[in-house]
Amino acid sequence: MKFNAKLLASVVAGMTLFGGIAQAQEMKFFRIGTGGAGGTYFPIGGLIANAISNPPGSRSCDKGGTCGVPGLVAIAVSTNASVANMNAIHAGNLDAGLAGAQSVTQGYEGSGKFVGNKKDNVRVIANLYPEDMHLVLPKGTKMSSLKDLNGKKVGVAAAGSGTQVSVKMILKHYGIKADEQELGLSQSTQRLADGQLDAFFYAGGTPFASLIQLGSTKGFTLYSFSKAEQEEINKIIPYYVESNIPAGVYENLTADTATVAVNGQFVTHKDQPVDLIYGITKALWSKKTRGLLDKGHAKGKAIRLETALKGVLIPLHPGAEKYYKEIGMIK
């Protein structure tokens, strides 16, 4: 697991500067599971961690500081993403995390990847943003259909990721026999660049830092899913809906790319204190956080209060529910 070192350093500096105050305040660490460093969960998780933190000795919201929870030090932790985060939160090894709606719902229900292994300790804080499926190919590669992957070396994302669960379902549905390689985003990108992979899948919020770098060096092509493939995938994985990666999201992409997407969600353990999660939810949707999200990452702009409950199919944490009731989003 990899911590957000920048945040931790700022916390330590703040505690040194305001040592007397820090000692007088109770400090609570809050670990947020994200994903690989080259994807979107990690930077988005870092932004959320910064937004909800208000370390001992920090200025209060009304005096120009963060609008986070007083005494809270939230830290983004790099993990293998959705499935790993659901497992860790359920077991109490992480305090919260980001996960795709498919993993969240199936984990809670004990279906799909989680048959016989329910993760019903998990509760939702908020729906965040759509995660687009990327099928990345070497520059200039053309495919007429997904079945062209048959016999190819294909990255199916990291073990413990929601992406891998979905990709394996898609490959099985289409009868594709590929040389499947379990790789994180950074590894997949490097191996594609080195000619060791013919293609790789990865789902997340655009843009991926790893693909920005690949686009500026070797280049790449994104596979555009046909309308029939989009509809078929939606039938076998209802959490995935039609989506589009706009031209220009990556410097080397000059045309829109049809794809499918699943919503990413912010989840926690049901036994986290109600007041704490209420404070975190309130901080997440503060005006100060809005500015952090808009400026901090391209996908941050898609994290909107009006879609905070979209596609949420398992119970909210009581603290989050209290906030949404307070502002009139639910009765």
**pLDDT tens track for 53-84:** 999 989 888 888 889 999 999 999 999 999 99
Give the Cα separation of 310 and 116 in Å (integer): 27
**pLDDT tens track for 182-221:** 999 999 999 999 999 999 999 999 999 899 999 999 999 9
Lowest mean pLDDT among 7-11, 238-242, 286-290: 7-11
Give the rounded percent of residues in the chain with a pLDDT score beyond 70: 92
pLDDT exceeds 80 at position 26: yes
Residue appearing with tokens 């944490």: 317
pLDDT at 82: 94
pLDDT at 19: 44
Amino acid at the residue 28: K
**pLDDT tens track for 243-271:** 999 999 999 899 999 999 999 999 999 99
**pLDDT tens track for 96-123:** 999 999 999 999 999 988 999 999 999 9
User: For residue 207, is the peptide bond before it cis, meaning its omega torsion is within 30 degrees of 0?
Assistant: yes
Give the Cα separation of 194 and 217 in Å (integer): 12
Q: What rounded mean pLDDT belongs to the chain?
A: 91
Confidence bin at 3 (pLDDT 50/70/90): low
Query: CA–CA distance from 304 to each of 83, 268, 284, 291, 310 (Å)?
Result: 24, 19, 10, 12, 10
Higher pLDDT pick, 214 / 19: 214
Give the rounded percent of residues in the chain with a pLDDT score beyond 90: 81
pLDDT at 64: 85
Spatial contact of 117 and 160, defined as CB atoms under 8 Å apart: no
Give the Cα separation of 205 and 229 in Å (integer): 21
Higher pLDDT pick, 17 / 322: 322
Residue 326: what are its φ and ψ, rounded to 5°? -60, -35
pLDDT exceeds 60 at position 18: no
pLDDT at 2: 53
Q: Are strands 220-222 and 122-138 parallel, antiparallel or unpaired?
A: antiparallel
HEC letters along 119-179 = CCCEEEEEEEEEEEEEEEEECCCCCCCHHHHCCCEEECCCCCCHHHHHHHHHHHHCCCCCE
Spatial contact of 276 and 101, defined as CB atoms under 8 Å apart: no
pLDDT at 39: 85
pLDDT at 16: 39
pLDDT at 15: 44
Residues 108, 317, 331, 287, CA torsion sign:
negative
Domain 132-262 belongs to what topology? D-Maltodextrin-Binding Protein; domain 2 (3.40.190)
Mean local confidence (pLDDT), 303-329: 96
- Euclidean distance between the first and the last CA atom of the chain, given in angstroms as a whole number: 39
pLDDT exceeds 60 at position 11: no
Amino acid at the residue 285: W
SS3 79: coil
HEC letters along 291-326 = HHHHHHCHHHHHCCHHHCCCCCCCCECHHHHHHHHH
* Per-range mean pLDDT, top range of 21-25, 61-65, 240-244, 327-331: 327-331
Q: Give Cβ neighbours of residue 175 (< 8 Å, ≥ 6 apart).
A: 147
The H-or-E segment that residue 104 falls in is helix 101-109
pLDDT at 235: 93
Confidence bin at 9 (pLDDT 50/70/90): very low
Domain 2-129+264-326 belongs to what topology? D-Maltodextrin-Binding Protein; domain 2 (3.40.190)
- Structural domain boundaries of the chain? 2-129+264-326, 132-262
pLDDT at 38: 80
Mean local confidence (pLDDT), 311-328: 97
